A and B are shown apart, each in its own frame.
Chain A
Amino acid sequence: MLTHILSWLIWLPVVGMVIIVFIPRERVDIVRIVAAVATGLQLWLAIILWTQFDPEVGGFQFMERLKWIPSFNIAYTLGVDGLSLPMVLLTPLLSFLAIFVSWNIKQAEKGYFALFLLLDAGMLGVFVALDFFLFYVFWEVMLLPMYFLIGMWGGPQRIYAAIKFFLFTLFGSVLMLIAILALYFTCGQTFDMITLMDTAPVALDGVLWWGMSAIKVIWILLFIGFAIKVPIFPFHTWLPLAHVEAPTAVSVILAGVLLKMGVYGLLRVNYGMLPEAVWWFVGAIAVLGLINVIWGALCALAQKDLKKLVAYSSINHMGYALLGMAAVVAAGEMNGNNFAAAQAGLSGAVFQMFNHGTISAMLFILVGVIYDRAHHREIGGFGGLAKQMPIFAGITAVAFFAGLGLPGLSGFISEFMCFVGAFPVFKTIVIISTLGILINAAYFLRAYQRVFFGELNEKYTDLPEINSRELFAVVPLAIITIFLGIFPAPFLNMIRTTMTEIIDQVVTLGGTIGLF
């Protein structure tokens, strides 16, 4: 089993989907159970993978390689390293919990859970695929279920939101396809990502296209593709709409996993294969990170809808990850070989990805809980709920404080690491972006205050407390948030070797050029 554990991780949900297709559509209970079992088994496998993963060894582990289309050098190659492992853990965890969040989906349950499992498989595939073609296939496969999940089970504007999401992401990914093909033909006709990490910087060195370095052209094509997913300003406009219209569980997956694919792609492909261009573009990454932080926070501040607030806070949180990514250049010669800062920044970025996954998932589930009961999400429409629903108020407090980066919770550590890493190189940018934390605190605290304190709105005097199924979905995430906030070492140890490798790749292959 262990030799093919990654394949099992990908294909288990697909098996679940096939089973669901053959269940008669009246038996919704069985459909739900199959979905829960499939994702549960997947989570269990992911945990086994985590325990078996050796963080000290560099490179990829649990590799699988199978010839697929020999004439085009396409192979079925899978593997994990310290960069993908956190995501491989996060995806099944959130999928499993999201199945319970979607327990009360009403219409066409069979289709919902089948598509959900397909989405799960696609996402996991993206994180473990090491063949560029395979990577692209998984990247695209995930779009279809997402379209239907938003478009069929979403809110009033669902159709518009779904097609906007689809158009934006497809636009990005077709540009990526061109970049993949350009890499294929210029770097020795291979889709193997590990080989490309070695050959691409050499093969593209000094190649000019229309007077511009080929590396930069490919870098930008890939960057746009990934930036739309992150989403980086100005490609972010699909996100608030999609998040707000999607059903709760899909918002959880969107924020928790899909956004991470962008950052993952940037680190894996842009940083891994085209490190020279990182030096050229790193200033822009830092500035875009700053814009994300401030813009996301300001937009969140202006929202009246609780779910939109959480959606914009996602944009803000991904900004910190971008800042951390930009810190990688600190290890370069002209920045004083500050390897510690680069390590802190990059680890902070990956840690922030994971933390945002758990925290925003929590936030969306909690917003979903209140929406299920009150059927609206207006921040101003509640009040005094702390008396009515004390447990719910308590859990929400954890989630909100994690979201605003309170020390002792995991979000603080990763944001802090991103700042620390980026500070030596981008002093002004970091100083300005700390404002984002302040605004974060403002809108989270204000929202909390309005919803939970003050006079209880008499409409809601019979609002039931959060139930055990919902608690089951939130409490694990809260525990992880608190645990990693106090003791982040296990996570940071897990990713350290890989982060060092990425920094080495960027520094040795690009650090000597004075592009920056």
Chain B
Amino acid sequence: MDNLQSIQYFWPELIIVFTLIITIFVDFLYSDSASYRTGYWSLAGLVISSLVLSIQGIDVVTTLFRDMLAYDPFALFFKVIIAISTIFIILVSLSTNEYKNTRVGEHFILILVMVLGMMLMVSSIDLIMVYLAIETVSISSFILAGYLKSERRSSESSLKYVIYGAFSSGLMLFGLSILFGLTGTTKIFEIREVLINIGGDAQFAIILAGVFILAGFGYKISAVPFHFWTPDVYEGAPTPITAYLSVAPKAAGFALIIRFFHTVFTDTGALTSTSWLSQTALPWPEIMAILAVITMTLGNLVAIQQDNVKRMLAYSSIAHAGYMLMAIPMLSGEGIQAIMLYMLMYLMMNLGAFFVVIVVKNKTGGETFEDFKGFGWKMPVVGVIMSIFMFSLIGLPPTAGFIGKFYLFAAVIKAGPGFYWLAVIGVINSVISLYYYMRVVRMMFLEGSKQEQTTLPGTLLTVLLICLAVPTLLLGIYWAPVSDWVRNSLMFFTQGL
């Protein structure tokens, strides 16, 4: 589709761009203490954009801007996830104490830049576009991670993020250029066509390209061994940004991995293929499975030893990336569906857990397990809600996390006995994770004792927490509408061009 025709399918992104420009100028008008009002502007733009997203038809599947972007229900699903999480993050940024002495106008503007980048990420089908989108997201998140300039940890996390980010995107760029060199095109569908017929000579180059690209994508979803930035950045960044990084870029990264690997590195194309890149001799499914296993196992084992809850949640988010990666090697529709469903469930429980950390930090000024001591008695409502998130992250019924895990394990087991070992390792990891999630619950309720005075956090935070906790419970009991939505969204642009 040419550029002019494409615009009609590009409104959500365009609205974000307009809002971006408006907020930059609006921000000039506010004094430091009033700059939080920029948040309202960006929120308004985001809400309008989401409304447009929600009325966009899911029956159209096409490419935009001369085959740069795909427009399909798959991308739409992830755009919705990104929009929802951003709305939550903007709202929570308005109610955290961390930004008290900082001008926050740019904060919201940068978040909007990230949204734009992620929306492009989930729909890009061209190597150049892939790289541009990833860099748009990365650069704004570097700045956001170091937003608290006066805090040493925040600056340190930003620097670490930049170094690892630059390195891995360099690797990825190298991989992408090898692909381009092999095939002479940047369009991923054409790349596949060429790769299928390329013969065994190029084996080494393909493997190299695959590994390098995996490094770039793996960095975005913080898969082991590309995860080293995660704990430090998550611990040092302002908590709303940590929550955001743990959900939205991860969702976008998974969308990209699914689209890219299912298109480029499979034999007959996305959703129809059953084997990975058979012209290379490497056992790709096993490699991906092992990646999943080390990701979740390392995440869980290291999370046990943490004393800082934010850092613990960082490692737990690595573990969750591992669970989701489990469904990648199967190359099945069920696998993708499971990842999408899990992403949605994960969005609620993980954002919720980080929001409770914000509540605790607002109250006590710290974020270690010690600060959670007796918290369930001081703020019973928050304690109960946090427990729900923890149970959901463990994957206990009847919570959304269980349903997500259930679909993941079902997808693995459906692939046949060859992958049962993967499912067994996955469930054992869930048991390991029980230990450190329950440590939070233990600190909140089992330590400390009854208080005469109980309090609630601010109204906005309470409402946000309830908005996340209620679906976490409800979707654990009845999730048919969501799984239907996911199934209907499981269609992506697969034809050659």
Most chain A CB within 10 A, of B410, B428, B478, B483, is at B410
- Residue A456, interface by CB 8 Å: no
Is the CB–CB distance between A70 and B480 below 8 Å? Answer: yes
**With A178-B423, A178-B427 given, is the CB distance from A69 to B435 under 8 Å?**
no
Give the contacting residue for A174; candidates B417, B431, B483; CB below 8 A. Answer: B431
Interface 9-mer from B77-85, B257-265, B442-450: B442-450
**With A159-B446, A177-B409 given, is the CB distance from A170 to B434 under 8 Å?**
yes
User: Which residues of A lie under 8 Å from residue B44 when comparing CB positions?
Assistant: none
Within 8 A of B (CB), among A162-200: 162-163, 166-167, 170-171, 174-175, 177-178, 181-182, 184-185
Is the CB–CB distance between A141 and B398 below 8 Å? Answer: yes
Is the CB–CB distance between A171 and B442 below 8 Å? Answer: no
Closest to B421 in A: A210
Is the CB–CB distance between B450 and A151 below 8 Å? Answer: no
B486 shortest CB reach to chain A, Å: 10
Query: Scoring B residues 156 to 167 as 1 if CB is less than 8 Å from chain A, else 0, what string do you get?
Result: 000000000000
B210 shortest CB reach to chain A, Å: 29
Mostly, the B contact residues are helix
- Residue A152, interface by CB 8 Å: yes
Is the CB–CB distance between B413 and A163 below 8 Å? Answer: no
- Residue B484, interface by CB 8 Å: yes
Within 8 A of B (CB), among A32-77: 68-72
- Residue B244, interface by CB 8 Å: no
Is the CB–CB distance between A166 and B438 below 8 Å? Answer: yes
User: Which residues of A lie under 8 Å from residue B484 when comparing CB positions?
Assistant: 71
- Residue B396, interface by CB 8 Å: yes
Query: Scoring A residues 108 to 140 as 1 if CB is less than 8 Å from chain B, else 0, what string do you get?
Result: 100000000000000000000000000011001
CA A163 to CA B428, docked complex, whole Å:
16
CA A479 to CA B413, docked complex, whole Å:
50
Is the CB–CB distance between B434 and A185 below 8 Å? Answer: no
Interface 9-mer from A142-150, A298-306, A342-350, A393-401: A142-150
- Residue B430, interface by CB 8 Å: yes
CA A70 to CA B484, docked complex, whole Å:
10
CA A159 to CA B397, docked complex, whole Å:
22
User: Which residues of A lie under 8 Å from residue B423 when comparing CB positions?
Assistant: 178, 181
- Residue A107, interface by CB 8 Å: yes
Tally of A interface residues using CB under 8 Å:
36
User: Which residues of B lie under 8 Å from residue A71 when comparing CB positions?
Assistant: 480, 483-484, 487
Give the contacting residue for A178; candidates B396, B409, B450, B487; CB below 8 A. Answer: B409
User: Which residues of A lie under 8 Å from residue B431 when comparing CB positions?
Assistant: 167, 170-171, 174
Within 8 A of A (CB), among B425-472: 427-428, 430-431, 434-435, 438, 442, 445-446, 449-450
**With A163-B435, A177-B409 given, is the CB distance from A151 to B427 under 8 Å?**
no
Interface size class of B (residues with CB under 8 A): 20 to 34
Is the CB–CB distance between B396 and A144 below 8 Å? Answer: yes
CA A162 to CA B445, docked complex, whole Å:
13
Closest to B442 in A: A159
- Residue B198, interface by CB 8 Å: no
Most chain A CB within 10 A, of B410, B427, B428, B449, is at B427
Give the contacting residue for B435; candidates A143, A167, A214; CB below 8 A. Answer: A167
Is the CB–CB distance between A141 and B397 below 8 Å? Answer: yes
CA A162 to CA B434, docked complex, whole Å:
12
**With A140-B396, A144-B391 given, is the CB distance from A152 to B446 under 8 Å?**
yes
CA A107 to CA B377, docked complex, whole Å:
12
B42 shortest CB reach to chain A, Å: 37
- Residue A22, interface by CB 8 Å: no
- Residue B14, interface by CB 8 Å: no
CA A254 to CA B401, docked complex, whole Å:
27
Closest to A176 in B: B427
Is the CB–CB distance between A181 and B410 below 8 Å? Answer: yes
- Residue B25, interface by CB 8 Å: no
A181 shortest CB reach to chain B, Å: 4
Closest to A185 in B: B414
CA A286 to CA B484, docked complex, whole Å:
48
Query: Scoring B residues 399 to 410 as 1 if CB is less than 8 Å from chain A, else 0, what string do you get?
Result: 000100010011
Is the CB–CB distance between A167 and B396 below 8 Å? Answer: no
Closest to B484 in A: A71
Query: Scoring B residues 9 to 52 as 1 if CB is less than 8 Å from chain A, else 0, what string do you get?
Result: 00000000000000000000000000000000000000000000
- Residue B420, interface by CB 8 Å: yes
Is the CB–CB distance between B413 and A69 below 8 Å? Answer: no
Query: Scoring A residues 66 to 109 as 1 if CB is less than 8 Å from chain B, else 0, what string do you get?
Result: 00111110000000000000000000000000000000000110
* 8 A-B contacts (beta carbon < 8 Å): A69-B480, A72-B410, A107-B450, A136-B397, A144-B396, A151-B446, A185-B414, A209-B417
Question: Chain B: residues with CB nearer than 8 A to chain A?
Answer: 391, 396-398, 402, 406, 409-410, 413-414, 417, 420, 423-424, 427-428, 430-431, 434-435, 438, 442, 445-446, 449-450, 478-480, 483-484, 487
Kindly list the 7 A-B residue pairs having the minimum CB-CB distance in the complex, ordered from nearest.
Answer: A174-B427, A209-B417, A137-B397, A181-B413, A151-B446, A140-B397, A171-B431
